């Protein structure tokens, strides 16, 4: 009997082992860092739509919505039970409190389930935008790095011509060659950043890690949301889930306190604890609108700051490019040194990266601001 059990276990392990092997070879591992397959072209809107309708995160949001609807139904049943208890004990303060709270939870859950779902969709959208822009910024930095390499090669070639004519020293050619090597390394680093960003993007969207993907949107400033500060604040105060949650909490605590008024002395421990909880909940509910207004004002100023930062970065880039052009002319005329030319090119290279970062920061601030003036990105427990 013992041998038979061991044989069965061994056979089971062999079957499981074979299954594990079959699973491990189901997905072919790409042997290098080249993305493969037919290229999938995606705009930002398409990527967001995929994330909100397909994959594990979309499924989680749908399941949470179904759960909220079930909880709302449960609160409805609890309200019915509380009503029956109230009919049985109409003079009971506890029965009255339970009935009121059950009805409150029932109505809140019914109204909040859709807002919770929208908050999760907003969170998915924000996450997708963040990763999408990560690829766009990395690709722009790669372009800037390649431009820098081309300019460094031009400097090197011009320096070699001057060296052959005897107008510059050997050390200048060595310096120019070193700058080319550094620029080549910067291109390699930028290419690595692009590949990492694309793998993260593929992972988020549920594609194979090395799937070839082409993002059709370019890195450019998006339009600011239309409206004024007053309207933005009012929209946030009307819609943000955080305000609704603390308002419900305060109302529940008020009901619980009222239910104790005729059952416990006001100097009893039970009453005093509930009174303290009620005061804290009331204070939180009163502070919430101010906190939300502060959040909107801060985001609005941050958005304006980042918009100005884009203008400054673009001006710096234009000036840096002109500075490089003038430095090259002066160097050819023998009026400055190779170091001056290379320094001007480095400033131009860094300014190009600065523009990419400034636009990315601004666009993300706009998208986050839009979410903040709606329900937000936080779902409430029901």
At 22, the pLDDT band (50, 70, 90 cuts) reads very low
**pLDDT attached to residue 94:** 65
Q: Both ends of the chain: CA-CA distance in Å?
A: 55
Residue 271 burial (CB count, 10 A): 16
pLDDT > 60? residue 92: no
Dist. CA 125–CA 136, nearest whole Å: 16
Average pLDDT, the chain: 88
269: which 2 tokens? 């421990």
Helix, strand, coil percent values for the chain (each to nearest 5): 80, 5, 15
Residue-wise pLDDT for 189-228, tens only, equals: 999 999 999 999 999 999 999 999 999 999 999 999 999 9
Which residue segments constitute the domains of the chain, with CATH numbers given? 45-372 (1.20.1600.10)
pLDDT > 70? residue 119: yes
Predicted model pTM: 0.85
Dist. CA 233–CA 296, nearest whole Å: 6
**pLDDT attached to residue 55:** 79
- ∠ CA 198-199-201 to the nearest 5 degrees? 60
Alpha helices in 41-169 (DSSP H): 44-53, 55-88, 93-164
* Mean pLDDT confidence for 77-86: 54
Dist. CA 312–CA 297, nearest whole Å: 23
């Amino acid at each position: 009997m013992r041998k038979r059990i061991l044989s069965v276990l061994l056979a089971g392990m062999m079957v499981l082992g074979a299954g594990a092997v079959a699973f491990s070879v189901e997905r072919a591992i790409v042997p290098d860092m080249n993305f493969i397959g037919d290229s999938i072209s995606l705009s930002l809107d398409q990527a967001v739509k995929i994330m909100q309708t397909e994959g594990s995160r979309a499924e989680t949001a749908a399941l949470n919505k179904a759960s909220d609807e079930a909880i709302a139904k449960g609160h409805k049943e609890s309200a019915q039970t509380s009503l029956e208890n109230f009919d049985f004990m109409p003079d009971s303060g506890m029965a009255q409190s339970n009935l009121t709270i059950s009805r409150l939870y029932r109505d809140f859950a019914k109204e909040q389930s859709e807002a919770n779902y929208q908050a999760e969709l907003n969170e998915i959208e924000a996450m997708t935008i963040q990763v999408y822009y990560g690829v766009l910024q990395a690709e722009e930095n790669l372009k800037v790095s390649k431009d820098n390499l081309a300019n460094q090669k031009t400097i090197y070639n011009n320096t070699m011509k001057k060296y052959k004519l005897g107008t510059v020293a050997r050390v200048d050619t060595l310096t120019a060659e070193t700058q080319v090597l550094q620029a080549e390394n910067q291109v390699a680093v930028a290419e690595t950043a692009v590949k990492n960003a694309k793998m993260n993007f593929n992972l988020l969207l549920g594609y194979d890690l090395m799937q070839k993907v082409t993002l059709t949107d370019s890195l450019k400033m998006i339009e600011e949301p239309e409206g004024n500060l007053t309207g933005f604040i009012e929209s946030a105060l009307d819609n943000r889930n955080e305000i609704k949650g603390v308002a419900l909490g305060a109302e529940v605590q008020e009901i619980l306190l009222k239910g104790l008024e005729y059952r416990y002395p006001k100097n009893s421990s039970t009453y005093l604890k509930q009174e303290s909880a009620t005061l804290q909940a009331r204070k939180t509910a009163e502070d919430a609108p101010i906190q939300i207004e502060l959040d909107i004002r801060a985001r609005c100023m941050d958005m304006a700051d980042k918009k100005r930062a884009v203008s400054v970065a673009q001006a710096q880039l234009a000036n840096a490019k002109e500075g490089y052009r003038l430095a090259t002319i002066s160097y050819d005329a023998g009026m400055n040194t190779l170091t001056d030319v290379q320094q001007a090119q480095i400033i131009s290279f860094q300014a190009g990266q600065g523009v990419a970062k400034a636009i990315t920061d601004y666009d993300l601030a706009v998208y986050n601001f839009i979410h903040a003036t709606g329900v937000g990105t936080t779902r409430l427990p029901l």
